[in-house]
Amino acid sequence: MTDFAAIDDEIRQARDRARRRDQLTRQRVTLLGQIDEVGNLLVGLERQLAKEDRDVVKLEQGGFSAFLSGLTGNKEERLARERAEAAAARQRVAGQRSRLEWLTSDLRTTDQELAALGAPQHELEVLLASKERMLVESGDPRGRDLADLAARLADTAADLREHQEAHQAGMAASQAVGYVLRHLGSARGASTFDMFGAGGGFADMVEHGHLRQADEAAWHAQRELDRFSRELADIGVAASPQLPKVDTRWFADVFFDNIITDALKHQRIARTAEAVREVAEWAGGMVDQLGARCADLSRQQEQLAQRREQLLSS
C-alpha cells in the first residue's frame, strides 16, 4: 500500500488546495459585494457631508439664512447644530472610508493567495485518474474502500475547518457587538440619571463619553461582522448584518438641556441599543448553530478515521 499511501497524500494536499481555492473564490465574491455596497454608501454620505459643510459656511459667512437666524436670536444655536451635524457626517464618512480600506486590503490578500494556489482542481483530476488506474491494476478490494474513506475524510476535514473558521469569526463578532451594547447601556444609564435632573453637566459628559466609545466600538464590530459574513458565505449561508449608526451629537446638551431633549436623547439611545441587541442575538444564535455543527463534524471525522484504521489493520 506504499504507492497508494503516497498518492493518497498527494490527493489530500491537492484536494485541500482546491477547497481553499473554492473558499477564497466565494470570499472574493462576498468582498466585491461589500466593497460595492460601501462605495455606494460613501457616495451618499459624501454628498450629505458636502451639504452640511455648505450649511455651516453659509451661517459663518453670513447671508439670508444667517440674517434670519440673527433676527430670531438663534444664530449661535443653529450654527452649533449645523456644526454638530457636519461633524457627525464627517465621522460617518471617515468610518466608511476606513471600512472600504479594510475590505480592499482583504481583497488584495485574497487575490494574492488565489494566484499562489494556481490550478489545484486540475492537479486533483490528474491524480484521481492516476489512482483509478492503480486501483484497477492492483485488484486489492481494500483500495477502493480506502480511496472512498480518504475522500470522505478530506471533505469532512475541510468542512470542519470552514465551520470552525466561521465559528471563530462569529465569536469575535459577537464579542465586538457586546462591547457596543455595554457602552450603550452605560450611556443609557447616564441618560436616565440626567433625565430626572440628578446628573446635570457631569451626567451629560459621561453619557457623551460612552456614546463616543460605543461609536468607535461599532466600527470595529462592523468590520468583524463583515468578516463573519464572508466566513458564513464559505459554508453557504448568506448574511449581511449591519449595525445602526451611533448618534454622538451633543449640541442639544449645550443649548437645550431640559426634560424634553433629555427624553428624546434617552429614546434615541434606547432605539439604537435595541437595534444592536437584535444583531447581537442573531450573532449569538449563529455561533451556537456553528458550534453544534462543528461538534457533529468532529464526530463524523472520528468515525471515519476509526473505519480507516480498521481497514488498514485487517
The grid cell for 225 is: 461582522
The full DSSP string for the chain is -HHHHHHHHHHHHHHHHHHHHHHHHHHHHHHHHHHHHHHHHHHHHHHHHHHHHHHHHHHHH--HHHHHHHHHT-HHHHHHHHHHHHHHHHHHHHHHHHHHHHHHHHHHHHHHHHHHH--HHHHHHHHHHHHHHHHHHH--HHHHHHHHHHHHHHHHHHHHHHHHHHHHHHHHHHHHHHHHHHHHHHHHHHHHHHHTTSSHHHHHHHHHHHHHHHHHHHHHHHHHHHHHHHHHHHTT------PPPP----HHHHH--SHHHHHHHHHHHHHHHHHHHHHHHHHHHHHHHHHHHHHHHHHHHHHHHHHHHHHHH-
- Domain at 1-139: CATH code: 1.10.287
Provide the mean pLDDT of the chain.
80
**CA angle 270–271–274, rounded 5-degree value:** 85
In one letter, which amino acid is 208? H
| pLDDT 10s digits, 1-16 | 457 778 888 888 888 8
Contact 139, 53 (CB under 8 A): no
Q: What is the pLDDT of residue 314?
A: 44
Its sign, for the CA torsion 60, 62, 65, 68, is positive
**The architecture CATH gives domain 140-314:** Up-down Bundle (1.20)
pLDDT tens profile 134-172: 765 777 676 777 778 888 888 898 899 999 999 999 999
What pLDDT score was predicted for residue 248? Answer: 54
Q: Where are the domains of the chain?
A: 1-139, 140-314
Q: Which range in 30-39, 164-173, 189-198 is most confidently predicted, on average pLDDT?
A: 164-173
Q: Is the pLDDT reported for residue 250 higher than 50?
A: no
Q: What is the pLDDT of residue 79?
A: 78
* Helices 259-313 and 141-195, packing angle to 10 deg: 170
The stretch 269-298 carries a mean pLDDT of 92
CB 234 within 8 A of CB 165: yes
Per-residue confidence band for 95, with pLDDT thresholds at 50, 70 and 90:
confident
All three cell numbers of 92: 460617518
Distances (CA, A) of 153 to 8, 54, 129, 147: 11, 63, 19, 10
